[in-house]
Amino acid sequence: MNFESRNPATGELLGVYREHDKAETDARLQRAWDGWRHWSRTPLHERIAFLTRLAELLEEPFSRSRNAPGTPATSPKRGRLISSHSPSPACRRRSSMNRWGRYSP
């Protein structure tokens, strides 16, 4: 049996995923647990640096569009990622306060 992932706002099909058997489910859960254990033992300053860099990468297309008129706000892949996890369209993210709470002129 396959599972569909749809954008709840538009009904757009985002992906189709096959069902996993018990062994594959257990293996994926174990990898998630192992990843969490590793992350939770990572020093705070390293986690902050990683998340800050991730935020910068996600914001990069927006800052490019603010500085260069006519530049697309996002690449198709990043735009889809951001808009599929956001209650508002990606283009509305250009505000005085970014989604991570930092001021961006």
Q: Which string of DSSP letters, residue by residue, matches 54-79?
A: HHHHHHHHHHHHHHSTT--SS-HHHH
Residues 55/93, Cβ–Cβ less than 8 Å:
no
Task: Report the mean per-residue pLDDT for the chain.
Answer: 76
The token pair at 50 is 């990683």
What pTM did the predictor assign?
0.45
* Angstrom distance (rounded) from CA 55 to CA 49: 10
| pLDDT score recorded for residue 59 | 85
| DSSP one-letter code for 103 | B
* Angstrom distance (rounded) from CA 32 to CA 39: 10
pLDDT tens digits along 70-89: 545 545 555 555 555 555 54
